[in-house]
Amino acid sequence: MSDQIYLSVIIPAYNEEKRISNTLLDIDRYLTKQDYSYEIIVVNDGSPDKTAQIVKNFINLIKNLKLIDNQENHGKGWVVRQGMLEAKGKYRIYLDADNAISIDQIESFWPYLKQNYDVIIGSIEVEGAKIEEGAAWYRRILGKWSKYLIRLLTVWEIHDSQRAFKLFPAKVAENIFSRQTLERWGFDFEILFIAKKQGYQIKELPVAWINPGGGTLTLKAYWRTLKELLRVKWNSIRKKYD
């Protein structure tokens, strides 16, 4: 029997001292009931709060929990790439520290890996999705319009590129994330664009998304993401993803 870890769960975290405990406990409750091996990797993005210390306190309580504790802030894309490339799992998924999409929803993803799909992503823009939204009004409006712009400039057939719930086989993850260039919010659409350029088949599945608000995304982040979107197009023109 192979000793390879079956599933790696990567959690990027920045200033998540108030939410990371419940997320870790929820993931642990689910994974301990499964019949496969796993690891949980929290990648701290230089948080000035107690995020890293709280995770360290859980290491002896939660099986196979690991912490990558970056002392400097690099961006969500940077730490997700770091976690994905350092993970050991046959399959690798990243999800947000706020637990907006519960880990048990991965069960609907597994069958599609047997149907020649290479990347499985969670979406709130396809039939069957459930949404409980608590974010600021401007984020809802900007999020809606930004999705159309992202689709227009990257992968049109993907309706929602920005959910964190994305599952990859190890070789696919290593090929995509090693080519990733964006280090902040725009990395989500970049990795899907890379996946398409590499000829991978992507399946978009509905998820239940509960967003209580209180995240770290700001108006400034939307402007930065627009610039990153243009950078992806420029990289593509320069054939940087080929």
Output the six-digit token pair for 39: 């690891």
Higher pLDDT, 234 or 49: 49
pLDDT range class, residue 20, cuts 50, 70, 90:
very high
Q: How far is CA 50 from CA 17, 19, 56, 221, in A?
A: 5, 11, 10, 23
For 65, 74, 120, the CA distances from 196, given in Å and listed in that order, are 32, 26, 13
Q: Quick one: how far is CA 119 from the chain centroid?
A: 12
Here the tokens at position 156 are: 């049109």
Element (H, E) at 197: helix 187-197
pTM: 0.90
The letter for the amino acid at 93 is I
Tokens of 205: 């599945």
Answer yes or no: is pLDDT of 151 > 50: yes
The C-alpha atoms of residue 104 and residue 106 are separated, in whole angstroms, by: 5
Task: Using the predicted structure, report yes or no on whether residue 1 has a pLDDT greater than 50.
Answer: no
pLDDT of residue 208: 97
Give the tens place of pLDDT for each residue, 171-214: 999 999 999 999 998 999 999 999 999 999 999 999 999 986 65
| pLDDT in the model for residue 36 | 97
- Per-residue pLDDT at 4 exceeds 90: no
Give domain 7-237's CATH number out of 3.10.310.70, 3.10.420.10, 3.90.550.10, 3.40.50.300: 3.90.550.10
pLDDT tens column, 59-68: 999 999 999 9
